[in-house]
Amino acid sequence: MNSDKNNRHVYWNPYFGGFLLGLLIIFTFYMTGRGLGASGVMKSSVVTVVDQVSHEHTLNNAYYSRFVEEGQSPMNNWLVFETLGVLAGAFLSGSLAGRIGFRVQHSPKITVKRRLVFALLGGVLFGLGAQIARGCTSGAALSGMAVLSTGGFITMIAIFGSAFLFAYFFRKNWI
């Protein structure tokens, strides 16, 4: 997609993107018998690092030992390959659209450092929440809603509800 004279990029309609995401979830259920998910990759990565540092500790730890099988890497997981595919697809899409570049988007009212600190804090909190809830937005909410799970609907309501409530307190950083 090319830029217009104001150097603004043309993006897909978000409803069309949501429709395609819905088709992708149906296709994923059909092909794998599971929905989408991404937060499990972080768990696999942490278990792999801990296992590389101390295999004995991993085997003796009640949590880590559940993810380690003899002769199998925790990275040999469908979520890892799904996430690598998402990253590759995002890079390809950004390249084709001419949107690959390093920049920090932020309001003129805050500094780049503050924006990065808030982004890191938000990411850490969302990651912790995903582990506590046993699923991220795609796993718990989207895939849960696709199978009409009450938990999926509650998760989505909680995500959007908390974002709506917290937006009031953080809006001065963006407007």
Domain boundary among 39, 68, 101: 101
- Ranking 13-27, 54-68, 132-146 by mean pLDDT, the lowest is 132-146
Q: What confidence score (pLDDT) does residue 120 get? A: 93
Q: Please give the share of the chain, as a percent, with pLDDT higher than 70.
A: 94
Same domain, 7 and 78: yes
pTM given for the model: 0.68
- 97 lies in the same domain as 113: no
Shared-domain flag, residues 138 and 161? yes
Q: Which of 84, 101, 118 is the last residue of a domain?
A: 101
Do residues 12 and 53 both lie within one domain?
A: yes
Q: What's the rounded mean pLDDT across residues 16-28?
A: 89
Shared domain check, 113 and 96: no
Higher pLDDT, 72 or 6: 72
- Residue 12: is its pLDDT beyond 80? no
| 83-96 pLDDT per residue, tens | 898 899 889 988 88
pLDDT at 4 over 50: no
- For the chain, the three-class secondary structure string (H helix, E strand, C coil) is CCECCCCCECCCCHHHHHHHHHHHHHHHHHHHCCCCCCHHHHHHHHHHHHHHHCHHHHHHCCCHHHHCECCECCCCCHHHHHHHHHHHHHHHHHHHHCCCCCCCCCCCCCCHHHHHHHHHHHHHHHHHHHHHCCCCHHHHHHHHHHCCCHHHHHHHHHHHHHHHHHHHHHHHHCC
For the chain, the domain total comes to: 2
pLDDT at 33 over 50: yes
Over residues 121-133, the mean pLDDT reads 83
Residue 173 has pLDDT above 80, yes or no: no
pLDDT surpasses 60 at 125: yes
Could you tell me if 121 and 77 lie in one domain?
no
